[in-house]
Amino acid sequence: MSTNNNSSTRQRVIFAGTPEFAAISLKALIEQQNELNIEIVAVYTQPDRKAGRGQKLTASPVKQLALEHNLPVEQPLTFKKSVEEGLAARETLANYKPDVMVVAAYGLILPMGVLETPTYGCLNIHASLLPRWRGAAPIHRALLAGDAQTGITIMQMDKGLDTGDMLYKASYDIAADETTESLHDKMADMGADAIVEVLKDLPKYQTQAQKQDDSLATYAEKLSKAEGEIDWTQSAAHIERQIRGMHPYPGAYTFLADPEGNSEPKRVKVLAALPVNASQTTVVEPGTVISVGKNAILVACGKEDAEAEGTTLRLTKLQFAGSKPVTAEQVCHGSQLDDGDKFVAAPE
């Protein structure tokens, strides 16, 4: 893009996004409009949704930020040309005469007619190193898979699901204690830096664009709450990644069996665990609470492989049904959990 700061030659940018991840990039673009020689002419976001205990209609983080800066906000339900509302949305978009559209976690499918409307097309800020983890939940999936590295890709959008040519990539080494929450925040900041870098000279990056190798593609499907249930026959390493990858949403959980067998197992959220101690093994049945200590609650898990002994995991933070989160030390001083108790599968 031009680096001339004459306002008459400013590139007209539309931003499309919904959650906090996208708002971080929008904020960076708002703050650097002069340096980038751009004008944000409109912001597109999902319609307001009911949220919170009161189920009040709530504007998305992107909309809230746009309104704070007096930017026009559009919230179409669809861009499908087969319906009147979709046609109207396309016409409105075209009337903004955009040079480029920046998309980050928007949540609405953009047909080719929309992708081709801006002069320079549509750029997507994607939280993975494409072609790995195309799709809705790349941050979760990278952690769950135990990836050592992830990052941000700025991609030229096409009709496929995150299949477009790559303009820019920035990598990040995943820390051993990374959760989805902490990694999300790092990716949001990196995404903002990346899109700013690309918009400094978009024609150059588009000229140097690289095609994705489809044979290396993996897909990051949206998570379901059911994926949060812990299977204690899995290895401690697998379960520890699950706890981090599910935090804060949808959350990892298990069920505590009644030692007397008089009532149904009760749901327990597992909020945090320590890194796996590979030297600590056990022959105790998976799901058994080996010890309740001040620093951690030691639980038996499954084997790494057929030849190995069972593994163990040290839980540090739990939340019992109807109660607030508690640390291992609080559990140790309480009566919710004892040595020999058993975590089990969901009751049928």
Q: Does residue 130 have a known ligand-binding role?
A: yes
**337 labelled ligand-binding:** no
Whether residue 131 is annotated as binding a ligand: the answer is yes
Cα distance between residue 291 and residue 281, in whole Å: 13
Tell me the C-alpha distance between 307 and 23, whole Å: 49
Burial class (CB in 10 A: 0-12, 13-18, 19+), 196: middle
Q: 108 labelled as ligand-binding?
A: no
- The C-alpha atoms of residue 113 and residue 77 are separated, in whole angstroms, by 16
Query: Positive or negative CA dihedral for 323, 328, 331, 333?
Result: negative
Handedness of CA 180, 271, 251, 146 (dihedral sign): positive
Q: For residue 287, give both structure tokens.
A: 């799901």
| Cα distance between residue 134 and residue 217, in whole Å | 7
Distance CA 15, CA 22 (A): 9
**Residues placed in the known binding site for (6S)-5,6,7,8-tetrahydrofolate:** 128-131
Binding residues: 128-131
